[in-house]
Structure 1
Amino acid sequence: MSAAQSCSAQILPVDPTDRRALLAWNAVLGEGFNAGREAAWWASEETILARFGDPRPERLSVLLVAHLDGEMVGAAGADVDPGDPAEIEISVLPAHRRRGIGTALAAALRETLAGQAEVVQAETYSEAGVAFALAQGMRVGNQEHRLLLDLPVDRPLDLEALRAEARPTPGIEVRTWRGACPEDLVEDWARLTTQMEADVPMGDLTRPASRAEVSEIRRNEQRMDAQGWTLVRGLAHADGTAVGYTEIFLNRHDPQILTQDDTLVERAHRGRGIGRALKLANLENLAGVPEAGSARWIQTYTALDNAPMLALNRALGFREADVLSILEGPLHAG
């Protein structure tokens, strides 16, 4: 790949089968992306090696690095599933910003992705990142609060106190487990996660194609386990019908930051305290995971205008840490 025209950095591809090059790429990408952020998770070496050691056959992944005077100063990556927007990341180490390196990486990504995608999406937590993406012809499509729940290792979360504040939920049963979804629940899980993909607030972003079939769920569970993830999950039933779910991700290689991922309650059953009951039951479920004892934070994401979920998360003790901006634009900006 030719050297960038807008700066003196050299942009080169990374071979994901080259262990040393792959880990160096991941380290620089994470260092630049998370600079200045509090309690910011990034994929561990074990996780990234497992991910690229068993790539999705239908997915195109692009890995690039920027070298300046023999030093790696930036990195970029892109993942594209057929028919979906390309998910891109561009990262420049703080000491080397405003020198055209990010622009050179962006141009190289566009060149490599030509014919593979028409739309690109990118995430950033900084105003500078938003400004850079806007200059590249993208627009803000959605924004979410990233919230943190502090978990000092010497003070466990007071679930009893939180449960005492919960609204009664007559007729609601919550079942929790860890790892792969039980066979007798997987059809309900597939249905609800498909609904989540349709219901989750995405602002003006292009929605990816739904992939919540049972076979895809099982394959994803296998991949996540291989990458070091423990899935901590709960499903709520109302009068025998599955009406909501929640899940937490814990990475066994780096358990300090846990992620409270999706929580869904079907519209017809909202306002009954099911979301709170799910989250509390799953936090209790989490307490049974040995690695969770090392956790310092749980992070979760909530759309800026999702007032009910923001109120629930704040009631559980979450605080706002920063704002995730997701931007979208054409691969080749006019």
Structure 2
Amino acid sequence: MSTVRITDVDPTRGDELLAWNSLLGEGFNAGREAAWWASDETTSARYGDPKPDRTSVLLLATREGLPVGAAGADMDPGEAAEVEISVLPAHRRQGVGTALAEAVRDRLRGAAEIMQAETYSEAGVAFATTLGLRAGHREHRLLLDVPVDLEALRAQHARPAGAPSAPKIQVRSWTGACPEGVIEEWARLTTQMEEDVPLGDLTRPAARSDVAGVRRSEQRMADQGWILVRSLARLDGAAVGYTEMFVNRHDPEIITQDDTLVDPGHRGHGVGRALKLANLENLRGVDEAREARWVQTYTAPDNTAMLTLNRAFGFRDADQLTILEGTVG
């Protein structure tokens, strides 16, 4: 069998970058339903204006001159490196993935101590385990078919006649960057989300959601083509929860339902339900969302309250994400 050749991809060379991204996505998403991957426009914007101090590794695997796999790794100072390894189905179990993994580790040495990798298959878990990684966290990936019948959802989630009255929940919704009047509350709640989100046995990254960090993230998301669809809930004037979805204007087929947080002291009062209903209504005002076919979200298996709520909204299981972690070595 011919030798696998690993080469570095120069992210400043547009054609090479987009070919690498396409190959990485083709192998990573092979056989999966409604699997999102970054568009050409988003990829160009991401690597055209990289985050300060971020280390990125882009690798291409070829055999006899033909591309057979790709790998990528991104690392911020002091954080675990996020690694993706992808091999085209026809070239698996021929040493391509192992060669890519060795090359990734070689380039990360001295820059990172810990690496994390994601997979959606048991074969991927088995491969990562042979590299010395261990499964640290799993999440269900769920899909909601759109358009959604909001009237039916409102009727389904209406409080039954005669039920005890609930606290008055006020929800404010918008698209894009946070209005100045809510940015402090948003930063506080997103910091809480970073601290509370289940990560199993994975190394937890440092919290970044101060006001300046939120503004930097909003600008980068906008530059990469993302439309932010957001709602914030208040009880008795205090912000107690939020939710957000991301719509990519370059490739809006799959909408990402990202965080939904309810402050622990205010759970069980319908805040999460009110947020999700309001934000789906908010989504109706986004022109690009009319081209969408699915909303995608992730929920940990032991987060039973959120799994129950998501399924009540019509989300169904698509596959399972496993995140593995190990030392760079």
TM-score in terms of structure 1 length:
0.95
2:193 counterpart of 1:191 = no
Please give the secondary structure, in 2, of the residue aligned with 1:180: coil
C-alpha distance after superposition, 1:237-267 (max 9, x if no partner): 0100000000000000010100100000000
1:221 to 215, 218, 221: 218
2:171 counterpart of 1:174 = yes
1:164 to 143, 151, 155: 155
Give, in whole Å, the separation in 2 of the partners of 1:271 and 1:78: 40
Partner residue in 2 for 1:235: 232
| Equivalent residue letter for 1:50 | A
Partner residue in 2 for 1:94: 89
Please give the secondary structure, in 1, of the residue aligned with 2:53: coil
2:261 counterpart of 1:264 = yes
2:129 to 115, 126, 134: 134
1:330 deviation in Å?
A: 0.8
1:172 deviation in Å?
A: 1.0
Q: How does 1:66-85 map to 2 (within 5 A)?
A: 66-85=61-80
| Equivalent residue letter for 1:72 | P
Verify the 8 A CA contact 1:7 1:100 in the aligned structure 2. Answer: no
Structure 1 residues not aligned, in runs of 5+: 1-5
| Equivalent residue letter for 1:158 | D
1:61 to 56, 61, 64: 56
2:303 counterpart of 1:312 = no
Please give the secondary structure, in 2, of the residue aligned with 1:162: helix
Q: Indicate how the Cα distance of structure 1 residues 255 and 126 shifts in structure 2: closer, same or farther if over 3 A, else same.
A: same
1:57 deviation in Å?
A: 1.2
Give, in whole Å, the separation in 2 of the partners of 1:214 and 1:297: 31
Verify the 8 A CA contact 1:167 1:272 in the aligned structure 2. Answer: no
Percent identical: 68
Please give the secondary structure, in 2, of the residue aligned with 1:78: strand
2:117 counterpart of 1:122 = yes
Verify the 8 A CA contact 2:136 2:323 in the aligned structure 1. Answer: yes
1:7 deviation in Å?
A: 6.8
Partner residue in 2 for 1:325: 322
1:171 deviation in Å?
A: 1.8
Partner residue in 1 for 2:17: 22
Partner residue in 1 for 2:276: 279
Verify the 8 A CA contact 1:166 1:277 in the aligned structure 2. Answer: no
1:298 to 295, 298, 308: 295
1:271 deviation in Å?
A: 0.2
Partner residue in 1 for 2:162: none
Partner residue in 2 for 1:34: 29
Verify the 8 A CA contact 2:132 2:326 in the aligned structure 1. Answer: yes
Verify the 8 A CA contact 2:2 2:64 in the aligned structure 1. Answer: no
C-alpha distance after superposition, 1:176-220 (max 9, x if no partner): 000000011010000000000010010000001111011111111
Give, in whole Å, the separation in 1 of the partners of 2:23 and 2:101: 16
C-alpha distance after superposition, 1:253-292 (max 9, x if no partner): 0101001000000000000010010000000000110011
Please give the secondary structure, in 1, of the residue aligned with 2:43: helix
| Equivalent residue letter for 2:318 | A
Give, in whole Å, the separation in 2 of the partners of 1:280 and 1:63: 40
Please tell me the root mean square deviation across aligned C-alpha atoms, in Å.
1.1
